[in-house]
Each structure stands twice: as C-alpha cells, then as structure tokens.
Structure 1
Amino acid sequence: MNTQARATGAPDALLEGAYRKAIFRLIPFIFVCYLFNYLDRVNVGFAKLQMLDALNLSETVYGLGAGIFFIGYVLAGVPSNLALHKVGARRWIGTLMIAWGALSASLMFVKSAESFYLIRFLTGVTEAGFFPGMVLYFTHWFPSERRGRVMALFMSAIPISGVLGGPLSGWMLNHFQAGQGGLAAWQWLYLLQGLPTILLGFAVYFVLHDGVAAVKWLSADEKNAMQKALEDDERARRAGNTAVQSFASVLRNRNVWMLGGVYFSIQMGVYAINFWLPSIIKSLGFNDPAMIGWLSAIPYLVASFFMIAVGRSADRRRERRWHLAIPMLMGFGGLLIATVAADNPVLAMIGLTLATMGTLTGLPMFWPLPAAFLGSAAAAGGLALINSLGQIAGFLSPYLVGWIKDATGNTHVALYILSAVLLVGAITVLSIPAKTVNR
C-alpha cells in the first residue's frame, strides 16, 4: 500500500486517482507556460545570429545583454516569491507572464546596446517569480516522495523548448529574411515568440488554483486525502529535524548556501548551452539558420526523454544524490568532448548532446534536495534564495563565454572552465549525507 495512503487511511485508489487528476489538470498547462518562459528567456541565442550584425554589436555586448537578464532576476527573486506566497499563484503568476511577454516582444525595438541591456534587465525582474513560484506551488499539492517525477515533467519543458524552439527560430530567421512588414527576421522572432506568453498570462487567471481546497474537480474525500498527505509529509520532516522552519534560519543555514552553490554550478553549464548552442553549432561549419535550428533540436530531444526517465528512477528508488551527481558528471564530460573534438562535427555533437542531457536533467533532480529539509514557513523565501544564487550563473556564464570568445576567437577555454565548475558541483552533491535528502 502507498505510504501516503496508509498515513491517511484512504484507499490506494482514492489517493492515486486524486494525484492523477491533479497532474492532468495542472501539469500540461504549467508545462506550456514554462515552455514559453524558457523560450522567451533564451531566444536571444538565435536572434543573435542576425541581430549582432544588424546593430553592429560585439560578442561581449551580446554576452552581457544575455546575462544582465539575471541581475534583474536575482534582485527580484525573493521579493517576488514572497509576494506570490501572500497574494496567491493565480493572480501573481498571471500578472508576471503578461508583463514579461510584453517585454520579450519589445526586444524587437532594440536599437543599441543600452536599450538591449535595459529590456533584458526588466524582463529578468518580471520572470524572477515564475520558476521558484512553481516549485513552491507544487509543495502545496504533492508530498516529497512525488515531487521528483512532477518536477521532471514540469522541467521537461526546457528541452522541449529547445526541440520546438530551435527549428521554429531557424525557420523564422529564414522565412522573414526579406524583411516583411518593415521588420527584420530577428525582430519577427521576438514578436511572434513573445505574444503567446501574454495570452497564457491571461489564461492563468482561469486555469490555476491556489491550493487543493480551492478546486472543484476533486471530491471532498480526495481533497482530505491529499491534504492529510501533505500534513504528514511536513510532520515527517520536522520529526527528522531536517526542516528549516523560518526565513531567518534559512539565511543562517549553511546547507542552503551550499545548495545554492550546487545550483549555480548546474546553471553555469545550462546557460552556456542555452545561449551559445546555435553559435557553437555554427562554428562546426553549419551556416544555414534552418539547419542550425534542426541540429540544435537533437540534444534537447534526447535530453527530454532522459530527464523524465531519471526523474521516475529517483522517485522509485527514493535516491537523490546519485541521480543528480551522475547527470552533472555527464555534463562535465560532454562539454570536454565537445571542446576537444571541435574539429569533428559528429563527435562534437555527441559531446553537446551528453552535456545537454546531463545539465538539463540536473535541474529537476536538484529541487527535491532543498524541498526535503525546508519547512513550509521557510519554503517561499528559501527556494527563491537558492534559485537566485543559482541564477547568478545566468549572468556570469554567457558573459564569460562572450568575453573569452572575443579575446581568443573561440569558446574552448570557456567550456573548459564551465566543465570544471560542474565537476566541483557534482563532488559537493556527493558530500551531502544521504539521509538528509533521500525521501
């Protein structure tokens, strides 16, 4: 019998049916929202292929513009998540999505480095509350033992955004290259990928609910069973003395800062791939935007299947550390292969695929760790703090790669540095006591 079902006295079928309903009702819509969240965040990697020449911008300017998004993201992360905790996910997330969709589309009006920096910074401010808000939102629906697969389903939107976004962006750059409507192809890309986010933001007001008690599609028995499972999960963490219960204690807890460092190392690899994959593929000898788009989809497609499989394995085995450390080591090895085999397109693509599989899978495999010891009182601020620490990599990673590429003419040194950071992060994960996180 299911552990949660035993604790509540509810039959297995009742609780399992309630969770299936919750996943079916919530995850597909949240998945689509996150898909466009990530697409709006990283489509500058494709726009760059034409935008830099059109505006006479350097690789360093691009790297700084791509990364400055995360300064706004980090500054707004904790306040935004605390606001969500106060006003509710439905109203706060909907408002944020409308704002960042409008800002993302407005990148089409960029004329200078300064305007590029400003809009990217403001977009980071508005997007800051979405991801940690969703992690917090899931803690209001699913106990610890179920969050691995839920997070994997949710975060598979990242590789799927690459699978769909790569070919779509490449097609847009080719299709609109004649300058239809007085706009360049890269401007059409920003416009057409930003507008759906605005529409989804309005849809949030009607689709999301702020907790189990607020929905009409669960029976009273199902609501009671799910709520009891959440309460039992919270008590189990407190009984094990692993739950940090206040935001003040979060700031004093070394594990929170250590996990922030681990998340930083994962994101250093993730954003190197997200912002530079099209350029790295182009450097392998592929110049057609459509071909670059299709080739960039391959690593993301493989990563999407790998991410879900690892998430299910982690929940089934109740093991967290190795299910995170091994993907991080794959990211380390993949970046090394892609760098060493830069003159061999096939081997380089294999390396990029391994790196994408490892780093992207590291994202959902990371989040059950802090959720395992952050109590409900600390979760809103604690999750946002860890996320903000990790997102510092979003500024450093693209800027570092751009600066080194301008200085050396290639990305080799930067990729060596990023692979080393992933290795240190994986070693740190394995230093965490298993009993602390294996739930």
Structure 2
Amino acid sequence: MPDSMQSLDPMKSEGVLEAHKGAIYRRVTRRLMPFLMLCYVVAYLDRINIGFAKSSMELDLGFSDAVYGLGAGLFFIAYFFFEVPSNMLMHRIGARATISRIMILWGIVSGCTALVTQEWQFYLLRLLLGAAEAGFYPGILLLLTYWFPAQRRAKAVAFFVIAIPLSGVLGGPVSGLVIGSTHTLLNLANWQWLFIIEAIPSIVLGVIAYYYLDNRPREAKWLTDAEAGVIEADLRADADKAGSVSGKTVTSFLGTFRNKWVALLSLLVLCQALGIYGLSFWLPTLVTGVGITGPIAIGLFSAIPFGLAIVSIVLTGRNSDRLTERRWHLVVPFTVAAVGLTLSALLTGRPVLGIVAISLAAIGCYTTTSQVWTVVPAFMTGVGAAAGIAVVNSIGNLGGFLAPYFVGATSSATGSPAVGLIGIAGTLLLGAALTLVLPRDRVNR
C-alpha cells in the first residue's frame, strides 16, 4: 500500500467521514440543544407570563386592555434598538458571555415587575425587559450557524423553537397554578408571585451558561480536534456554496443594509411575529372566550395547543431537512395559522371547536417560527450573519409590539379581540405570499 494511503487520517477519508458525521452532529445536538431549549423556555415564560397575570393585574391596578396591550408591546421597542448591537457584540466576545449576561439581567428585571403599582412603572419595566433580553433569540440562531451547516440546520432550529410551545405546555399549568394558589400569600398578590417565581430560573441558568457553553467547535473540550475539523469543514463548504447561488450573500455589516433581500426577509419575519405574539399574548383570553373559566383550567387547556405545536415543529423540521425544501414548509404553516386564528376569534362560547381552532393557530404560528429561521441565514454569512440576523429579527419583532397593542386597542374599542386577531390573520397570508417570492435555489438547500 502506498505510504500516502497508510498515513491518511481516517477522519479525512471520505467514507469514514460520512460514516462519522451523523454521530458527530448528534453529539453536538445532545450537548447544545437541551440546554438552549431550557434557556428559551424560561425566556419565553418571562416574556409572556404577563398574559396570565393580565386579569389579576387589571383587577388590582385598574389597567385597561389598552394599557396592557401597550405595556406588553413596549418590550419590543427596546428590543428593536438593542438587538443589533447585542449580536455584533456577541460576534466579538462570544455566545457564552453574551447569553449569560442577557439571562441574568432579564431575570432581575422580570422579577421587579412584581413591584409595579402605576402605569408608567409597568411601561418602564417592559422597556427595560426588552433591552435586557435583546439579542438572546438572534444570538442563539447565530450560535447555531457556528455549529450546524445549512443542510442540518432546520432540525436544529426546530429543536430550539420547540422551546416556545414547550414553555406553553409547562408554563400554562404552572402559571395557572401560581395564579390560582398564591393569592395574598405573604401579603403579595398572585400576579406578583408569578413574576418572582418565574424570574429565578433565568438568573440561575444565566450563571450556568457562562461555564457550560462553548463559542465555536474548536473551543469545545468535549470534541476531538478531528471532530471539530469536520464541522468547520462543513461550515466552510456551506459558505462557499452560499456565494455560488442566485442573489448576493450578506458578508458585512454595511452589506446588510444594501442587500435587496433583507427588507423582504424583515417583512416576512414581521408577519410571522404578528401571528405568534398575537396568539401568545391573547391565548388565555381566547381560551376564556370559548367558554373555559378558572385560572387552573385555563392554564391546563392552554397547554393543549402548545403540545400539538411541538409535534408539528418536529415533523416539519425533519421533513424539511429530508427533502431539502423550505418554501412550501413555510407557506403551508402560514396558511394554517391564518385559518386557525380567524376561527378561534369567531368560535366564542364553543369549547371543543374553539380549542381545535386555537390548536390550528398554534400549530401554524409555531411551525412558521421554526421554518422561517431556516430561510433567513441562507442570505448571509460571517459578520454579515451577525448583523443581518439581528436586523431582520429586530425589525420583524416589531410585530411583538404591534400585535398586542393592535389587538388591545381594537378590543377596548369593540369589546372583543376578534377584529384585531382577524386582521393579524391577514398578515399571515401576506407572509405566505412573500415566501413564494424568495428564490428557490437560495432557500432550498
């Protein structure tokens, strides 16, 4: 046998490489995804627990639906302004320090919401919470681009986004239990206990994140040099392929603002965010509207749509990677979300049909969220990805301000959230149409 063959590193042999790749990425998935999912579960709970606190806060503090809607949405105004700087800082100092800092700060601010007595305090703390959490979601998405190439990323993103409905499966019953069982405990209202109890895990996980996470494959002591090299070779090949297909890939900070696809992607994510936050912030109200009463019952029934959404996210992400097809895996959930949200707004006083409709809305909205973030990174790489993902997410997530405020304002004016939710359903159909504009050779990889 020639000396060159005898000295060949087995991990660099194509056959051996392919045989080991699946095991390497499964190892990465087991190491990263459960922890990142857990972090996002507590992040999302701290973001939407205000939906479960809404009725008690309004009763104790005299807040109207319009005040609640504005306060819920102000989170995203601060989020908008701080997201790009946070992601650019993460690209420089790494995910470990960035995610740790974000989680500790938002836990502290969220817990302080228990001290609110006036409208301006409510508004201020929601702004501070948005500033504290800015960069977390796009930071995780950026981190995934450092560990998973495009052809494996849909499944990874799907696992991460599962954390959103999982927070509903866990958070609905837990929040309902806290609201239903802690009234006047130690002279604190039940909604105050909700903010205090659900803030603690964020602070604890923020400390753990600093010691647990690794910024890049080469820094991971739990990978061999050869295994890290396999991942980095895949990522380099991925970046080279991105530059060979239609359109211009964003590779720099300034390029983010010159690329023609950034505006379209921002609008696409805006449509997605309008749907998911319109549903998330008003889900307890929708469950009440279909005829289910009592905080514990509302929490338990709220978990059903989230549980079904988890199944949809997993199956859709797996099928999207298997077929290497992204566009229709995004168009269909957009459409299902629009239909479900419309029906859930109309089926008042009908518990069974109402929960089915809300479940369709949840399946569509949360599956859309997982799939849209397999599409966005296809248009950017390198430092351009750090800026581009943050820009698209920050602009898109203005939907987190617009959705609760719009539904709250129309609810105060009409006595029902139906008009606002049907309006949001229309933007979901717009999202489906925008998806079809994206170039197939860019997206389907």
Name the TM tier (shorter chain).
Answer: over 0.9
2:251 aligned counterpart, secondary structure: coil
User: Do the aligned partners of 2:246 and 2:441 also contact (CA within 8 Å) in 1?
Assistant: no
**Bigger shift: 212-221 or 157-166?**
212-221
Matches of 1:30 and 1:15 in 2, distance apart? 22
Matched, 1:230 2:230: no
Matched, 1:129 2:138: no
Instruction: Structure 2: give runs of 5+ residues left out of the alignment.
Output: 1-10
Shift of 1:281: 1.3
Q: In structure 1, what is the equivalent of residue 266 of structure 2?
A: 260
Shift of 1:132: 0.4
Q: In structure 2, what is the equivalent of residue 305 of structure 1?
A: 311
Q: How does 1:419-434 map to 2 (within 5 A)?
A: 419-434=425-440
Q: In structure 2, what is the equivalent of residue 293 of structure 1?
A: 299
Instruction: Structure 1: give runs of 5+ residues left out of the alignment.
Output: none
Out of 81, 92, 98, the position equivalent to 2:87 is 81
Out of 93, 96, 108, the position equivalent to 1:90 is 96
Matches of 1:172 and 1:156 in 2, distance apart? 23
Q: In structure 2, what is the equivalent of residue 191 of structure 1?
A: 196
2:106 aligned counterpart, secondary structure: helix
Matches of 2:208 and 2:410 in 1, distance apart? 42
Q: AA paired with 1:80? A: S
Q: In structure 2, what is the equivalent of residue 327 of structure 1?
A: 333
Matches of 1:384 and 1:287 in 2, distance apart? 40
Judged with a 3 Å threshold, the aligned counterparts in structure 2 of structure 1 residues 240 and 82 are, in CA distance, closer, same or farther, namely: same
Q: In structure 2, what is the equivalent of residue 370 of structure 1?
A: 376
Matches of 2:370 and 2:287 in 1, distance apart? 26
Out of 245, 252, 256, the position equivalent to 1:250 is 256
Q: AA paired with 2:310? A: S
Matches of 2:416 and 2:178 in 1, distance apart? 27
Let me know the Cα RMSD of the aligned residues: 1.3
Q: In structure 1, what is the equivalent of residue 157 of structure 2?
A: 151
Q: AA paired with 1:239? A: S
Q: In structure 1, what is the equivalent of residue 115 of structure 2?
A: 109
User: Do the aligned partners of 1:324 and 1:429 also contact (CA within 8 Å) in 2?
Assistant: yes
Shift of 1:430: 1.1
**Bigger shift: 429-438 or 70-79?**
429-438
Matches of 2:269 and 2:293 in 1, distance apart? 34
User: Do the aligned partners of 1:10 and 1:225 also contact (CA within 8 Å) in 2?
Assistant: no
Shift of 1:345: 2.2
Q: In structure 2, what is the equivalent of residue 46 of structure 1?
A: 52
1:11 aligned counterpart, secondary structure: helix
Q: In structure 2, what is the equivalent of residue 62 of structure 1?
A: 68
Q: In structure 2, what is the equivalent of residue 359 of structure 1?
A: 365
Shift of 1:244: 1.8
Matches of 1:9 and 1:373 in 2, distance apart? 31
Q: AA paired with 1:115? A: Q
Matches of 1:231 and 1:212 in 2, distance apart? 13
Out of 283, 287, 305, the position equivalent to 1:281 is 287
Shift of 1:303: 0.2
Matches of 2:388 and 2:262 in 1, distance apart? 8
Shift of 1:339: 2.4
Which digits, 9 at most, give the CA deviation of each residue in 1:22-70, with x for residues without a partner?
Answer: 1111111111001101110000000112111100111100000000000
Which digits, 9 at most, give the CA deviation of each residue in 1:306-330, with x for residues without a partner?
Answer: 1110000000000000001100000
Q: In structure 2, what is the equivalent of residue 221 of structure 1?
A: 226
Matches of 2:70 and 2:47 in 1, distance apart? 14
Shift of 1:342: 2.2
Matches of 1:56 and 1:341 in 2, distance apart? 28
Judged with a 3 Å threshold, the aligned counterparts in structure 2 of structure 1 residues 131 and 49 are, in CA distance, closer, same or farther, namely: same
Q: AA paired with 2:128? A: L
Matches of 2:287 and 2:326 in 1, distance apart? 33
User: Do the aligned partners of 2:48 and 2:280 also contact (CA within 8 Å) in 1?
Assistant: yes
Matches of 2:214 and 2:340 in 1, distance apart? 40
Shift of 1:241: 5.2
Shift of 1:415: 1.3
Aligned length: 434
Shift of 1:392: 0.4
Q: In structure 2, what is the equivalent of residue 169 of structure 1?
A: 175
Matched, 1:336 2:329: no
